[in-house]
Amino acid sequence: MGRRDHGYGWGVSDATFVKPGQDYDRDMDYIPDRITRDARKPDHGPVEGDLWPVEPGRYRLVAAPACPWANRSLIVHRLLGLEDVISVGRPAPTHDERSWSFDNDPGGTDPVLGIHRLQEAYFARVPDYPRGITVPAIVDIPTGQVVTNDFPWITHDLFFEWTELHRADAPDLWPEDLREEMEEVMERVFTEVNNGVYRCGFAGSQESYDRAYDRLWAALDWLEDRLTGRRYLMGDRLTEADVRLFTTLARFDAVYHGHFKCNRQKLSEMPALWGYARDLFQTPGFGETIDFDQIQAHYYVVQRDLNPSQIVPKGPDRSVWTTPHGRESLS
């Protein structure tokens, strides 16, 4: 039996709900609304909530740089050139049980939404919203209400529904001829790697941890092999699959190796994955969204069940991310 994460995506009380023998089970029940062209029925995916129209300047993407799920939205937003179309609010990396907050902004208030806690936007939509106050979230600026926090569909729809507002040279993150294979790869990356590190970190027993550890490293070995002969997950083209893997790799040595006990090897000891991660980090749109100080502050300070002292490690050396990766020849 798995335990459901009804906290803050991965907040202060994540480990509190783990009972002996249980496996970590992420709650994927999000606000299912979607933003589409003219609020039309989208061509892809389910329609289980309301539809909102694409409208430049109307929405604010609230995405904490500390969070890997929010980080992917920051990367896609930047790759597509939507900075002047959808504004961005960045909550601080540490928070209490109530909500992500804007402590890094002047006066501790988001300058566009005028709120201190993201919780306020959720409550504006659903008073006493009962589930996790998660990021990323898209907020309707005129009403101050959260529209959606369904992170896989947020980045999907930024690509497919906001197309006319992309910058002229925006990458094709969902090549039509690769989509079927992409979906298979992204599903494995999500279940075994993105979520796999949490399955290790929040395991409720030694047996649960051992299972999680073996699953994670089986997937990382598969990725090491896959990336040995190709520059990106899908070959010589950068896709959303790479965005989704990168946000976990960027946090691996800094957090997951020690804090989540994913310690068979460091990322820097896996030649293909390490070169691939640096290649992406040095690609415009990726590295500038990474804030290692905020990443480490969140995990080591907020997750007190795993780190009661709240001491934040000084290492590893971050300058290694800008060293040559040598993967250009694989294109």
Residues designated catalytic: 67, 198
Residue 234 phi/psi, 5-degree rounding, is -105, 20
Indicate the burial class of 174 (C-beta count within 10 angstroms; 0-12, 13-18, 19 or more).
Answer: middle
Q: Cβ distance 161 to 174 under 8 Å?
A: no
Secondary structure of 83-136 as H, E, C letters: CCCCEEECCCCCCCCCCCECCCCHHHCCCCCCCCECHHHHHHHCCCCCCCCCCC
The total of other beta-carbon atoms located within 10 Å of residue 223's CB is 22
Indicate the burial class of 219 (C-beta count within 10 angstroms; 0-12, 13-18, 19 or more).
Answer: middle
DSSP assigned state of 313:
P
